[in-house]
Amino acid sequence: MARIGELDLPDRLHPAIPRWATQLGVALLCVGAAGVLRLAINLVAPGAAVFALLFPAIMIATLFARWQAGLLTAAISIAYAFFAVYLPSPATTQSGPYWTLFAIAFSAGLTIALAETFRRAVHRATDERDLQIADRDLMLSEFEHRVKNNFQIVASMLDIQRRRVSDPAASDALGAAMMRVDSIARAHRHLYRDGQGSEVNVSDYLKDLCDTLSDALLLRGGVTLDCDADAAHIQRDHAVSIGLVLNELVTNAAKHAFVGRETGTIHVSWKHKAEGGWRLTVADDGVGLPPGPRPKRKDGGLGQRLIEAFVKQAGGTLTTVSDSGGTRVMMDVPD
């Protein structure tokens, strides 16, 4: 019912059609519809319930085109029903018709008042809702702007520190931290840009992230990074986790997959599985993982621990396949 009250035809059609013309048209349409139903009823029960159809017609006209249309509908309908149907009936008495007319007119006025009150209440509630939505959008816009600035400040501080340190291991660690912050920042931007509430368009997010990683890892010429992602909207927290996993896997591939080589390809895909769920795949055509236990890395395996933590946070599972033709890491997550 609230949606009916929100539809104000005189305002909706103005200025193409004057408001009074819209109200007149709605009144005539309601009178005509009631008249057609009246004729159909007369075929079955002549003279029965003469005034019964007046009230729904009056209410509809008032809700859609304000009280003026309801009043016009009432006047035309009552006049027609009274003079064309009621008075000619032999069952009426000399004094009864006028009291009936008064009762019907009073009931019609009460119907118009109630319908108009309801219509105005709904419009006030709608205006308040729109104002609240506008205030919320303004607040979210300001919040998004502040968070974006905070991300930029953190990234800038990490970049300044990275440039100042002389230890290559420390510089690499700060650079990796910068890319992780950037991955979270991009998920945040896509969350507000897509307008999906708490969901992120993963396709756009992953493609954007791959472009950034390609620039940040200086993948030029011989080593390329491409991304093929199906469209999907998932929860923000899961999108952040998936983006961070992608960040770590692509970084690992760029650093370790092409040792002693100048060419190679890193392929990222995000596809829906036939049996349900989604699969993130990061595959390279590099040298593959060495057989046996993996040697301890300089960062103490921080990257691998982060990958495992992010996969767990997304509710997914991780599978790694490696041979002389390269390495393929697959992350499966539920719908």
User: Which pLDDT tens digit goes with each residue over 23-81?
Assistant: 888 888 888 888 788 777 777 776 666 667 788 888 888 888 888 988 998 888 888 76
Residue type, 83: F
Q: Is the pLDDT of residue 332 over 80?
A: yes
CA distance 203 to 228: 8
Can you give the pLDDT at residue 1? Answer: 46
Can you give the pLDDT at residue 292? Answer: 58
- Cβ contacts of residue 22 below 8 Å, gap of 6+? 9, 10, 13, 14, 65, 69
Burial label for 1, CB within 10 Å (0-12, 13-18, 19+), is exposed
Is the sign of the CA dihedral 57, 61, 67, 73 positive or negative? negative
Write out the two tokens for 102: 């008064």
Contact 187, 240 (CB under 8 A): yes
Contact 202, 232 (CB under 8 A): yes
What are 82-132's pLDDT values in tens digits?
676 566 655 544 445 677 777 788 888 898 999 889 888 888 888 888 888
Residue range(s) occupied by CATH 3.30.565.10 in the chain:
165-333
Can you give the pLDDT at residue 330? Answer: 93
More reliable by pLDDT, 277 or 260: 277
| DSSP 8-state class, residue 86 | I
Contact 36, 12 (CB under 8 A): no
Before 291, cis peptide (omega within 30)? Answer: no
Backbone angles phi, psi at 87, to 5 degrees: -60, -40
H or E element at residue 292: none
CA distance 330 to 321: 8
What are 154-200's pLDDT values in tens digits?
778 888 888 888 888 888 778 777 777 777 777 666 666 655 556 77
Alpha-helix runs per DSSP H in 45-95: 54-80
Residue type, 173: A
Q: How many CB atoms lie within 10 A of CB 54?
A: 24
Classified by CATH at the fold level, domain 165-333 comes out as: Heat Shock Protein 90 (3.30.565)
Contact 98, 91 (CB under 8 A): no
CA distance 162 to 183: 18
Alpha-helix runs per DSSP H in the chain: 2-6, 9-13, 19-44, 54-80, 96-164, 168-194, 202-216, 236-256, 302-313
**Total-model pTM:** 0.54
